[in-house]
Amino acid sequence: MTQQRYRQIADALEREIAGLAPGARIESEFALGARFGVGRSAARAAVQELERRQLVRRIQGAGTFVGRRIDYVLSRERRPSWHHTIEAAGARARSVVLAHSTEPVDAAVGELLELPVGAHAHRMERLSHIDDLVASYGIEWVSSDAVPDLARGMRVEESLDEVLRQMGSVRAVRAWCRTASDIPGRVVQDHLQLVTAVPVWVVESVNRDVASGRPLTYSKAWMRGDAVRVVMEIDDPHSSDQPKGVDQ
C-alpha cells in the first residue's frame, strides 16, 4: 500500500460525502476495499485519513458516519446552555440524564459553589448529542437551593438552563470557565464511544445567577473534538458588567 493510494481513496470519498447529511453512515472497510480494489488495510487507512481531516467520526460498535464539526462558543454574552449553543449553530441538540442523586459536596466542589463541605447538592451525569450522535459527557453539580426538585424538572425538560429559569426563577450566566485538551480515562472514552484514545475538549464552568450573583452550577464536560471546536470569546474590558445575552 502506498500513501498515494489511500490518499486517493480518501480524496474520492471526501468528494462523495460532501453532499451527504451529517450522520449518514459510511460504507464498511470491507465494502470500501472491494469497491476500490484494495485490501482492508488500505481502506482503513483511507477512513483514518478522513477522520484526521475531521470529515467523519467513528463510533465504537456502530460504524463510521459523516461528521459535522460546529463551533461551541463560550462567552458571558451567551446563555450557558448546551441546547441553546448547539441549536444556535444550526444543529440538533439532545441530552440524556444517566444518573442523578443528592450528595454531600467535597472541598473542591464546595469552594466553587460556595457551600460548606458536606452540604448537599444535586449531582447529575449526562450524555449529550449533536444531530443524534454522541458529542459530550458531563458531570454537573447544582445548588439544591436553586432547584429543590431538579429530578422532576429534568424529566420534562432536557435543558438545565431552562429548568433553572422555569422552576428556579433564576437566569444563569457563565462566571468562570476553564478549557483544556486532554486524553480522557477509560470511563469517559466509553461514554463518548471513542474507538481510540484521542484528545477531547475538557470544559469546566461555574454559572451564577445574574440578579444575586450566587453560584448555581458547576460542571465538567468532555467533548469529542470531531464534534465541536471550542471557541472562547473574551469579553471587551470596556463593556458593562451586565452580559448582553442573558435575557435571550
Q: Are residues 50 and 84 in the same domain?
A: no
Q: Is residue 246 part of a domain?
A: no
* Bridge partner list, 181: 201
Q: Are residues 146 and 47 in the same domain?
A: no
What percent of the residues of the chain are helix, what percent strand, and what percent coil, each to the nearest 5? 30, 35, 35
Tell me the C-alpha distance between 99 and 10, whole Å.
40
How would you class 68 by CB atoms within 10 Å of its CB: exposed for 0-12, middle for 13-18, buried for 19 or more? buried
pTM: 0.82
- pLDDT, one tens digit per residue, over 127-144 is 999 988 899 999 999 999
**Phi, psi for residue 47 in degrees, rounded to 5:** -65, -40
* Bridge partner list, 142: 122, 217
* CATH number for the domain harbouring residue 61: 1.10.10.10
For residue 139, give the H/E element and its range.
Answer: strand 133-143
- pLDDT, one tens digit per residue, over 49-108 is 888 888 888 887 788 988 888 999 999 889 999 999 999 999 999 999 999 999 999 999
Q: Is residue 97 part of a domain?
A: yes
Q: Are residues 101 and 175 in the same domain?
A: yes
Q: Are residues 54 and 86 in the same domain?
A: no
Q: Are residues 28 and 74 in the same domain?
A: no
Q: Are residues 192 and 211 in the same domain?
A: yes
**Distance of alpha carbon 31 from the chain centroid:** 31
Q: Which domain holds residue 135?
A: 70-232
- pLDDT, one tens digit per residue, over 207-227 is 999 999 999 999 999 999 989
Q: How is residue 171 written as a grid cell? A: 437566569
How would you class 79 by CB atoms within 10 Å of its CB: exposed for 0-12, middle for 13-18, buried for 19 or more? buried
Q: Are 173 and 78 in contact (CB under 8 A)?
A: no
pLDDT bracket for residue 202 (50, 70, 90): very high
48 contacts: CB under 8 Å, gap ≥ 6 = none
Of 152, 94, 93, the closest CA to residue 122 belongs to: 152
Number of domains forming the structure of the chain: 2
